[in-house]
Structure 1
Amino acid sequence: MSDFTVKPLDESTWPDFARLIEKHNGVWGGCWCIGFHQKPAGSQNRDLKECRVREGRAHAALVYDGPNAVGWCQFGSTDELPRIKHKRQYESELEKLPDWRITCFFVDKEYRGKGVTSLALAGALEQIAHLGGGVVESYPEDVEGRKTSGAFLYNASLSIFERLGFQKTRRLGMYHWVVTKTVESDPDRFGDKVKPVQR
């Protein structure tokens, strides 16, 4: 059993986040996890992401094994993360925007299949509780009965969200679902503390 910890992405943890991305050649063709914030800008993606983090305009739960960040779950308000896949269909069936979106996961290739994605999602929900709670929405992929590569599940699998209490609300594209969960406000639940998580 490994003892992982979960920390918020902020100015102090940026170097750890950056090292994980650099280890994987910028992630998904050099995205630097900027694509849900704004249109990617190639070689400027790193600087754009760092600027957002330092200004408090980018949020993520980072999973650590010892001193090393090994995965993350990105979340934020709809203003912070306006760009989602299947947006035309999403907006055509939209009744009300959520308070928060969960848009992206990434796990170090050496840690895939070890529960890091679930820990990152749980950590994101704790941070959201600390930040005031509200309706949380995401767009995971239904992989049941299909062969898929974990490396391309940028929004994780539907089953992970269902295990943490999310409910399916409507389909999005061929294999994705809009899922939602209401998180109660709990200012003392996470904060800037390191929260130990056992798997």
Structure 2
Amino acid sequence: MSDGYAVRMLTEETWPAFAELVEANNGVWGGCWCMGFHVKLGKDRSAEQNRADKEQLVRERRTHNALVFEGDRCLGWCQFGAPDEVPLIKSRRLYEKELIALPDWRITCFFTGKGLRGRGVAEAALGGALAEIARNGGGVVEGYPEETDDRKVSGSFLHTGPMAAFERHGFTRTRPISPHRWVVTLTV
């Protein structure tokens, strides 16, 4: 619990609240349904297919999202998983160039509903994800946040998370993989 928020994992029981938030936000980035790190998205995948595939992953317990709730309302989430669960990452070519070993866990993306940003939702979601990772045995956790420095960046472009949130949770910058994106690590 943080800032009056409760964090719950995405399960069949929390699916309706998750789906309500996604639907209220145009399927998240035009229909992703938080599938963009599971499979390659493109013109051949519809929002309906992404929704069905995400729901199937939930039923099979092959997706992890730390959902942030205020009462019964889902405000946002942080997606995480083992590399085989979320194999796709941004800046992959540069990531693989200096890769020594895969992490045990990846934190791939964040989403906060429209009108709800700037209220600590992503921070609460990240904390919830790390707590769940610890409950599942822990290990090396990687994130791929955006360094905003002194740049003004729209929250919608921070889908891999803001650097400051990761650093507040103890992550260390490991190496850059784009002009403003880093690999950060933490052992949980």
| TM-score, length-scaled by structure 1 | 0.90
Which letter does structure 2 place at the counterpart of 1:81?
A: V
Matches within 5 A, 1:16-165: 16-40=17-41, 41-42=45-46, 43-165=48-170
Residue aligned with 1:18, SS: helix
Q: By how many angstroms is 1:110 displaced?
A: 2.1
User: Per-residue displacement from partner, 1:73-122 (whole Å, max 9, x unpaired)?
Assistant: 00000000000111111111100100000001000112110111100000
Aligned-partner Cα distance in 1 for 2:151–2:97: 28
Aligned-partner Cα distance in 1 for 2:22–2:181: 25
Partner of 1:190: none
Task: Say how many residue pairs are matched.
Answer: 183
Residue aligned with 1:62, SS: strand
Q: By how many angstroms is 1:11 displaced?
A: 1.1
Q: By how many angstroms is 1:2 displaced?
A: 5.2
Partner of 1:5: 6
Partner of 1:189: none
Question: Is 2:3–2:120's contact at 8 Å kept on the other side of the alignment?
Answer: no
After the TM superposition, list the runs of 4 or more consecutive aligned residues in structure 1 that deviate by more than 4 angstroms: none
Residue aligned with 2:6, SS: strand
Residue aligned with 1:35, SS: coil
Question: Is 2:148–2:180's contact at 8 Å kept on the other side of the alignment?
Answer: yes
Aligned-partner Cα distance in 1 for 2:73–2:152: 30
Aligned-partner Cα distance in 1 for 2:177–2:30: 24
Cα gap change, 1:25 to 1:92, in 2 (>3 Å): same
Q: Is 1:182 the equivalent of 2:183? A: no
Q: By how many angstroms is 1:158 displaced?
A: 0.6
User: Per-residue displacement from partner, 1:19-68 (whole Å, max 9, x unpaired)?
Assistant: 10000010101100001001232131100000001100110100001100
Flag structure 2 segments of 5+ consecutive residues without an equivalent: none
Aligned-partner Cα distance in 2 for 1:164–1:14: 27
Q: Percent sequence identity over matched residues? A: 56
Which letter does structure 2 place at the counterpart of 1:106?
A: F
Aligned-partner Cα distance in 2 for 1:55–1:75: 16
Higher relative contact order (CA 8 A, sep 6+): 1
Aligned-partner Cα distance in 2 for 1:8–1:157: 21
Q: By how many angstroms is 1:145 displaced?
A: 0.8
Partner of 1:187: none
User: Per-residue displacement from partner, 1:118-151 (whole Å, max 9, x unpaired)?
Assistant: 0000000000011110100010000011010012
